[in-house]
Amino acid sequence: MANSNPFVPPSAVDVDLSAVAWGANRTMSDFETGMWRMEEAQPQLRSPIVAVEVLDRAPDWDRLLDAVEWASHVVPRIRMRAVEPAMQLGNPVWSVDPEFDIGYHLRRVRLPAPADFDHALRMCRHLATEPFDKARPPWSALLIEGLDDGRAVFVVKTHHSITDGMGGIQMMTLLHSRRPDPTPNKPDRTPPAPEHLSSVGAFGEEVVSEIRRAPSRIAKLVRGATNVATTAISSPITTASEVLGYANSLRKIVTPPARSGSPLLHDRGLGRWFGTLEVGVPELKAGAKAAGGSLNDAYVAALLGGFRRYHEAFGQSVDSIPMGMPISMRTGADANGGNRFTAVRFNGPVSETDPAKRIRQVREIVLGLREEPALDALDVAAPILARLPNYLLANWYLSQSTGLDLQASNVAGVPVPVYLAGAKIERMFPFGPAPGCAAMATLVSHVGVCCIGINLDTAAITKPALLMQCLQESLDEIVALGVTTEGA
């Protein structure tokens, strides 16, 4: 029987390969095309997704190689490169790399003594900032050994055009097992045959693909127009109200927050710094419940409280900061992988010193944004944006993101103990891309622990260690709400 939870790997040989679908489309979507191309004009807009797993010991190297090789059979996208059509007339086409080499993408290093997790994290950061070789499949992985306490770190970097954060977790679970011992007789697939697709061939595929998609697109437009016309005739007031409501919603979604960014966080650059925080899921939930909010509300409130403390350390005060939040649009019918998310932007309340009140403020804002009819604005605009020249596309995105001081993402993780080639995974820290914003915070729950990865732009955050201290203090303050309530 297929596993009902996509983040929990099967326990033994009951892998249902028919249920593993990844990347149903051979061509990138318009949205993915935009992410792929805009970084060519603006390196600040590079969008790697990085997962850092902390292991209790070094995994068996040969087993790890075999696991990645197996995963590349199950998910052919791992073996595919993106081929641009001639003169970029159309979207890039995914094609099996004729020179695919596991050894190029998966490497190992041993840190010189003394070495701790911070040393390994620096190496992860350097890996994250290296641009992809776009002539090859856009992913890489590194096993870091030699930590003084005997632990190891496994880091995987993928380009955002392959998948979003939730899809990245789905991909990582293919390498995980619920037991340390090898799984015998694991079902396999024949690896995809190498392809020698040229830019001219990619253009031809795009033309054929557009022709095939045209009838369904036209039919969808006709159905939509017919429904609107019918409703307009039978209930013109309702129709006008809905159109006006969508227009107002669209204005909220695409218009940047009214408040400009903090002067303290104004600059942007290419430097990145990684930091981590962790807190128990029950503890954070208890703090959230005490204030009448959800775990996500408490998480965002903790981040905002940390930014307030950071500003206070510089003798500055700020009422709010412009921030963004990705919202998953995935449903059970969506295939694994790919990108199925949208984004909302709002003024994050920073000045509120009462953590409970801040949680309730965040909750009210986020619940309101999740109900906006125009959440699909990115999908609607993507076909137009993908056709812009790269420099215009990059400048448009920078205008949308550079004013953001913070982005916060929350992705469901693995709820049960899992292993990587015999080594137990103790923590999984996610580091989302921070294109144009001062800081990107991402939370993944792993076996009862909220693992939070903070990706900072060092031109904006000039004292990253100080910010991490401020964030920890704010997180402790949120947790204390639950402790106080239990003791009352």
160 belongs to the catalytic site = yes
Complete DSSP assignment for 12-52:
SS---GGG--B---SBPPHHHHHHHHHHHH-GGG--EEEEE
Per-residue DSSP letter, 425: E
d(CA 361, CA 308): 15
| Angle between helical axes of 295-313 and 464-487 (0-180°, round to 10) | 130
d(CA 54, CA 66): 20
CB 93 within 8 A of CB 208: no
> What is each CA distance from 47 to 37, 66, 110, 468, 476, in whole angstroms?
11, 28, 27, 22, 31
How buried is residue 88: exposed, middle or buried, by Cβ count under 10 Å (0-12/13-18/19+)?
A: middle
Would you say how long the chain is, in residues?
488
CB 58 within 8 A of CB 152: yes
Catalytic residue among 73, 126, 159, 160: 160
Torsion of CA 295, 297, 301, 304, to 10 degrees: 120
Torsion of CA 479, 125, 164, 478, to 10 degrees: 10
Q: What are residue 152's DSSP bridge partners? A: 55
Residues known to be catalytic: 160
